[in-house]
Amino acid sequence: MAPAKIQRTAEEEPDICCVPVDSCFLKGHLKTNGKAISRPPQRIQLRLKDLIMQNDVKLIDFLRDRHSTPVAQMKEPGPSQEELDAILTFATRVPDHGKIAPWRLTVYRGDVRKTLGEQFLAIASKKAPDMTDPAKEAELIRFSRAPLVVGVISTAAPHAKIPEWEQVLSAGAVCLNMVMAASAHGFVANWRTEWVAYDDEALALLGVKEGEKVAGFIHIGSSDFPTPDRPRPELWQIVSYIGEN
């Protein structure tokens, strides 16, 4: 599908913006003839929606082929701070009954990933003293396989109006949104939990507080690995209809 075009006259669009077109879209600008046109956000909201709706074939293609890249196949570079800020911002645009934001995010990056690996190994070694060398190595690199890891922490708790289960689901939505937001910025991502998400000693090291739970650890990085698709359920196996068409 060809990109949608928005035609404007010079009189209608007098203010030409000099920043890159892609940046303009983030700042509430419209594109016409390859140039960015400055418009107040409230005046372009409907127009921008129309433009996106005409180009959603790209999103359809993405969803059709969506898959996770194995963490072991990730490498540098990871997102810049600006890219990470955008990824985290987009990730939190999820259904949230009551607007209570029952989740928080923790970013693990830099040397702390190596330190955590050493601590994970110490915990695992106490429980399994006869660990093999490959198993020990797996613990050491658990959080350093990807350039960074984002912990999505569910803070779901009893609420007068919002069922706790719905709060948990909202945290899961953040995880999936983050995977897609990372992909939208040209990176790969994988949503994991692993044993460290369920071990009290490991959770304390990771900064997870009592009463909180890990919805997921999102590993984000780059990769040129051609991830094969995996078997998916057929609709007849998982879909039921109630009522006539």
Q: What does the pLDDT read at residue 245?
A: 87
Task: Give the model's pLDDT for residue 57.
Answer: 52
Residue 136: pLDDT above 70? yes
Residues 6+ away with beta carbon under 8 Å from 50: 4
**Res 20 pLDDT > 50:** no
Instruction: Give tens-digit pLDDT for 37-66.
Output: 444 444 434 444 444 444 445 888 888 888
Give me the residue spans of the domains in the chain: 16-55, 71-221
CATH 3.40.109.10 corresponds to the domain 71-221 = yes
pLDDT computed for residue 40 by the predictor: 44
| Phi/psi of residue 64, nearest 5 degrees | -65, -35
Task: Supply the pLDDT for residue 34.
Answer: 44
Q: Give residue 174's pLDDT.
A: 98
Question: Within 131-163, where are the H helices?
Answer: 133-140
Q: Distance between CA atoms of 214 and 68, rounded to whole angstroms?
A: 19
- What lies within 8 Å, CB to CB, of 234 at 6+ separation is none
Report pLDDT digits (tens) over 222-245: 999 998 889 999 999 999 999 998
Whether the predicted pLDDT of 160 surpasses 50: yes
Q: CA-to-CA distance for 97 and 163, rounded, in angstroms?
A: 9
Q: What is the pLDDT of residues 196-211, one digit of tens each?
A: 999 999 999 999 999 9
